[in-house]
């Protein structure tokens, strides 16, 4: 039996999901009953990959939880430099924030919608609205401070 641990996007509880049962039934949080998204990563410790197709749904499902979206591209040196910081933020968020990545080369519609013309760009959303934006390499503490300001 294979189990996956997922952090609930609403209350932050860590839920163990039986992968075989999840194939036939929608998993829900044991604490608050929220539907769990298995695509959010094996244990909620990795950023969620966002696309043009999933962007609005991700923001909607996050509710009032702050969402950090790292806009990046594979060829971008500074993007590769900040990637470990984004991974750390995701693994340490404990459900307080949703950390996601948007490949701007593959998702040009969303990048254009927010006027992304330099990367890495970090967008912070709350209640589906953009509340903050920063461009370029940022230390982890600065990103955490920006996220905490919207928690």
Which sequence positions are flagged as catalytic? Answer: 76, 79
Question: How do beta strands 48-50 and 98-103 pair?
Answer: parallel
What CA dihedral angle connects 138, 145, 11 and 18, to 10 degrees? 30
Rounded to 5 degrees, what are φ and ψ at 40?
A: -75, 0
What contacts 7, CB < 8 A, 6 or more positions away? 13, 14, 15, 40, 43, 44, 93, 94, 95
Give the pair of three-digit tokens for residue 39: 């695509």
Closest to 9 measured CA to CA, from 93, 130, 111:
93
């Amino acid at each position: 039996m294979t189990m996956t641990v997922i952090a609930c996007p609403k209350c932050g509880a860590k839920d163990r999901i039986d992968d075989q049962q999840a194939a036939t039934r929608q998993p829900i949080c044991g604490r608050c009953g929220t539907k769990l998204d298995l695509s959010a990563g094996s244990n909620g410790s990795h950023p969620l990959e966002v696309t043009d197709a999933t962007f609005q749904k991700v923001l909607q499902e996050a509710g009032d939880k702050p969402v950090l979206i790292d806009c990046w591209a594979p060829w971008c040196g500074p993007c590769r430099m900040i990637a470990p910081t984004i991974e750390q933020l995701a693994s340490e968020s404990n459900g307080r924030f949703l950390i996601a990545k948007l490949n701007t080369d593959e998702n040009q519609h969303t990048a254009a919608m927010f006027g992304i013309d330099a990367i890495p760009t970090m967008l912070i959303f709350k209640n589906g609205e953009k509340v903050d934006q920063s461009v370029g390499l940022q230390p982890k503490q600065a990103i955490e401070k920006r996220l905490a300001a919207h928690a």
